[in-house]
A and B are shown apart, each in its own frame.
Chain A
C-alpha cells in the first residue's frame, strides 16, 4: 500500500503532463484518437469537483490553523470526555454542532488529535460528521419526500455504525494513527500553550533538523501564522483532493451507469454494488440523496440506504485524503469496518423496517 501511495501519484502526474502536452499540441495530434467530447466531459467533472471542494477544504484548513494558533492544547484535552462511551457519543454527535463536509473535516481532526484529543474520537467524528448533521438530514428528507423512513434510517444506521467502530477503535487501537508524527508530540506541545514568544528546536526523526522561529506575538504575528498554516495545509490536502477528483472524473467519464446497473441488478449484490458506486462517485453528502433518489425505480430501499451511509463515510476522494493524514493500516481497517457494518446494517434495516 505504501508502495502504491508512493508511486501512483507521480505516475499519474506524468500522465497529466502528457495530457497537457496533448492539449497544447491538439492541432498537430488531431489524428490521434483523443476523444474531444470525452475530454470535455472529463474537464467539466474534474474542475467542478475541485471547485466544489475548495470552500470546504479552505474552511477546514482555516479552522485547523485557528485552533492551532488560538486554542490551547490543555483546553482541548479538558473539553474531550475521558470515558470511552462519552467519547464515542461526543465524536458521533459533534457533527450537529459543526456541519462540515468531509473534505473540510480531515485537517481539523488531525489538528485536534495532535492537540491531544483521543484519536478514536477524531476518527468517529470523521465518519459520523458528514451524515449526522442537520443539513444532510434535511436534504435527504427533501429528496425522499415519499419515503421519510429513508432519512430516519440513514441517521440511525450511521449512528449505530460509528458507535460500534468507535468502541472497537477505543478497545483495539493502541498506537498513534497519524502518519509522520511522533507519538509524544501532543504532550510536548502541551507545555507552551499561551506564550508564543520563545523559540525552540524540534528534531524530526525522518527529516533534517530545522528550527522554528516564532514570527511575532500580537495580532499580526498570529494572523500571519494562521495564513502560513492554512496555505501549507492546503497544499498537503490539495494534492490528494486533486488526485481523487482526477480519478473520480476519469471513472465517471469512462464507465457508463447503464453498464454498472447491469452488474448490480442481482438482489444479493445490489447493496454491495451501491456501496461501490458511492465509493467511485465521491459526491458530497449534502447532495448524494438526490442522486440516490434517481435510482429509486431500479434499486431496493435497503441498497439506497447502503449508498447513503457508506458513501459519505468512505469514498475515493476522501480515502486519498485520509491516507494523507492517517497510517495506511488504520485507513484499511476503517474501510473494512465501515463496509461490513453498513452492509449488515442495511440488510437488517431493510428486512425489519423498510418495505
Chain B
C-alpha cells in the first residue's frame, strides 16, 4: 500500500510540475513549442496514473488486491534502503524543478556548448562559376551577386530580399536562417546596417572591445539547443556584463577570429533591453518552401 501511495504522490508531483511550468509560462525554457503540446498531454496521463495508484492504495487498505496478471514481475524490492534511494531518484528532479528558480540558458552554457558565429555550418558556399552558367535567360545584377546551386537557392532568394532592405533586421522567426544567409554572402553585405538582439557572451580570446550578441536555438529541448550569434565590436563593450540583453544596431564588416573569416558588426547603437519572454529561437521549417 505504501508503494502505491508514494508512487501516486510522485506521479502527481510530475503532473503538477508540468502544470506549474505551463502556468508560469516557463515550459518554453525547457521544451520547444512544437513539443509543448505532447508534454501537456503527458501531464494528464501522469495524473490519471496517479489517481489509479491512490485507488489501488485504497483497495489494498480495504483488504482487496488490485494486482493484475501480466506474466511479469513488478513487485517492488523489499529492501528499505533500496526503495528510499529509488524513490529519491524520482524526487530529485521534482525538488530541483520546484525549489530552484527557472532561469534561461545564458553565457555559461554557451561557453560549454560552443558558439557558432557564422550561422549553420552545413551549408557549403556555392561555386560561383557553375551557377552563372546554369541560369537561363538574362542574368541581372542581383543574380550575379547571389550565385546559388539547387541546395542554396532558398538562401540566395532570402539574400536578395535582405539586400534590398535599408536596415537588415534579424527577426526571431528566421534567426538562424538570416545569419546563415548573411554569412554565406557576406561580401555583398559589407557596409550594410544590421539590427539584432540577444544576450552578451564573451570568450577569453576576444579583445576588450569585442563581445558576441547571441541567441540559443532550440529544436526539441535545451539539451539539443546551440547558441548562434554575431561578433560585435564597440569601444563601449566593457560596460556590458555577460548575459545582459542588448538591442544592437551596427555596420557589417569582415574580420577574423580564431583564424576564420567572420562577420563583425561595428556597433552604432547599443541599447540595454529586458530579456524577452521567449528568449530562444527555433529553426523555421517552412524556410525556402
- Given the contacts A55-B38, A261-B114, A188 and B221 also touching, CB distance less than 8 Å: no
A62 at the interface (CB under 8 A from B): yes
Contact A283 B39 (CB under 8 A): no
How would residues 62 to 101 of chain B score, 1 for a CB under 8 Å from any chain A CB and 0 otherwise? 0001111111111100000110011011111101110110
- Given the contacts A210-B67, A224-B68, A291-B226, A252 and B92 also touching, CB distance less than 8 Å: no
Contact B69 A212 (CB under 8 A): yes
A14 at the interface (CB under 8 A from B): yes
How would residues 100 to 139 of chain B score, 1 for a CB under 8 Å from any chain A CB and 0 otherwise? 1001111011011110101011111000000000000000
Contact among A231, A239, A295 with B53 in the assembled complex (CB-CB below 8 Å): A231
Contact among B39, B52, B67, B100 with A213 in the assembled complex (CB-CB below 8 Å): B67
Q: Which residues of B lie under 8 Å from residue A286 when comparing CB positions?
A: 219-220
A232-252 residues with Cβ-Cβ distance < 8 A to B are 232-236, 238-239, 242-243, 245-246, 248-249, 252
Contact B103 A188 (CB under 8 A): no
- Given the contacts A10-B85, A232-B74, A23 and B122 also touching, CB distance less than 8 Å: no
A4 at the interface (CB under 8 A from B): no
Contact residue range for chain B? 35 or more
Contact B108 A41 (CB under 8 A): yes
Contact B93 A68 (CB under 8 A): no
Q: Total interface residues on A, using CB and 8 Å?
A: 100
Q: How far is the CA of A252 from the CA of B114 in the complex (A)?
A: 11
Residue of A nearest to B52 (CB): A227
Contact B85 A14 (CB under 8 A): yes
Q: Which residues of B lie under 8 Å from residue A246 when comparing CB positions?
A: 89, 92
Contact B120 A207 (CB under 8 A): no
Q: How far is the CA of A27 from the CA of B160 in the complex (A)?
A: 55
- Given the contacts A20-B95, A232-B74, A252 and B112 also touching, CB distance less than 8 Å: yes
A-contacting 9-mer, from B28-36, B190-198, B249-257, B267-275: B28-36
Q: Which residues of B lie under 8 Å from residue A202 when comparing CB positions?
A: 69, 71
Contact A215 B11 (CB under 8 A): no
Contact A145 B123 (CB under 8 A): yes
Contact among A55, A208, A287 with B224 in the assembled complex (CB-CB below 8 Å): A287
Residue of A nearest to B6 (CB): A235
A1-50 residues with Cβ-Cβ distance < 8 A to B are 9-10, 12-14, 16-17, 19-20, 23-24, 37-41, 43-50
Contact A10 B81 (CB under 8 A): yes
Q: How far is the CA of A249 from the CA of B96 in the complex (A)?
A: 13
Contact A248 B65 (CB under 8 A): no
Contact among B38, B50, B71, B88 with A17 in the assembled complex (CB-CB below 8 Å): B88
Contact B223 A40 (CB under 8 A): no
Contact B71 A185 (CB under 8 A): yes
Q: Which residues of B lie under 8 Å from residue A248 when comparing CB positions?
A: 223
Identify the interface centre among A44, A148, A200: most chain B CB within 10 Å of its CB: A44
Q: How far is the CA of A194 from the CA of B52 in the complex (A)?
A: 24
Contact B121 A48 (CB under 8 A): no
Contact among B42, B71, B224 with A58 in the assembled complex (CB-CB below 8 Å): B42
A183-202 residues with Cβ-Cβ distance < 8 A to B are 185-186, 188-189, 196, 199-200, 202
Contact among B30, B45, B90, B96 with A238 in the assembled complex (CB-CB below 8 Å): B90
Identify the interface centre among A48, A180, A245: most chain B CB within 10 Å of its CB: A48
In whole Å, how far is B38's beta carbon from the nearest beta carbon of chain A?
4
- Given the contacts A9-B85, A48-B31, A293-B122, A189 and B224 also touching, CB distance less than 8 Å: no
Contact among B7, B41, B96, B221 with A23 in the assembled complex (CB-CB below 8 Å): B96
Contact among B50, B85, B223 with A52 in the assembled complex (CB-CB below 8 Å): B223
Q: Which residues of B lie under 8 Å from residue A239 when comparing CB positions?
A: 86, 89-90
Contact B223 A252 (CB under 8 A): yes
A79 at the interface (CB under 8 A from B): no
Contact B112 A13 (CB under 8 A): no
B1-54 residues with Cβ-Cβ distance < 8 A to A are 7, 11, 14, 18, 27, 29-31, 35, 38-39, 41-42, 45-46, 48-50, 52-53
A112 at the interface (CB under 8 A from B): no
Q: Which residues of A lie under 8 Å from residue B152 when comparing CB positions?
A: 145-146
Contact A212 B68 (CB under 8 A): yes
Contact among A10, A62, A114 with B82 in the assembled complex (CB-CB below 8 Å): A10
Q: Which residues of B lie under 8 Å from residue A49 when comparing CB positions?
A: 221-223
Contact B114 A13 (CB under 8 A): no
Q: Which residues of B lie under 8 Å from residue A261 when comparing CB positions?
A: 114
Q: How far is the CA of A224 from the CA of B222 in the complex (A)?
A: 35
Q: How far is the CA of A342 from the CA of B103 in the complex (A)?
A: 38
B residues contacting A by CB (< 8 A) are 7, 11, 14, 18, 27, 29-31, 35, 38-39, 41-42, 45-46, 48-50, 52-53, 55-56, 65-75, 81-82, 85-86, 88-93, 95-97, 99-100, 103-106, 108-109, 111-114, 116, 118, 120-124, 151-152, 154, 219-224, 226, 283, 285, 288
Known: A55-B35, A207-B75, A298-B121. 20 other contacts (CB 8 A): A13-B85, A23-B96, A23-B99, A43-B97, A44-B30, A47-B93, A49-B221, A147-B124, A204-B73, A210-B75, A227-B49, A231-B7, A233-B74, A235-B7, A242-B89, A253-B109, A255-B112, A257-B112, A291-B219, A296-B121
Q: List 25 A-B contacts (CB under 8 A).
A: A9-B85, A12-B89, A38-B108, A47-B96, A48-B31, A48-B222, A52-B221, A55-B38, A58-B46, A145-B151, A147-B122, A204-B73, A227-B48, A228-B56, A228-B66, A239-B90, A245-B93, A246-B89, A252-B112, A256-B114, A286-B219, A287-B219, A287-B221, A293-B122, A294-B120
Rank and list the top 9 A-B pairs by shortest CB-CB distance, nearest first: A296-B121, A146-B151, A212-B69, A287-B219, A55-B38, A293-B122, A48-B30, A296-B122, A257-B114
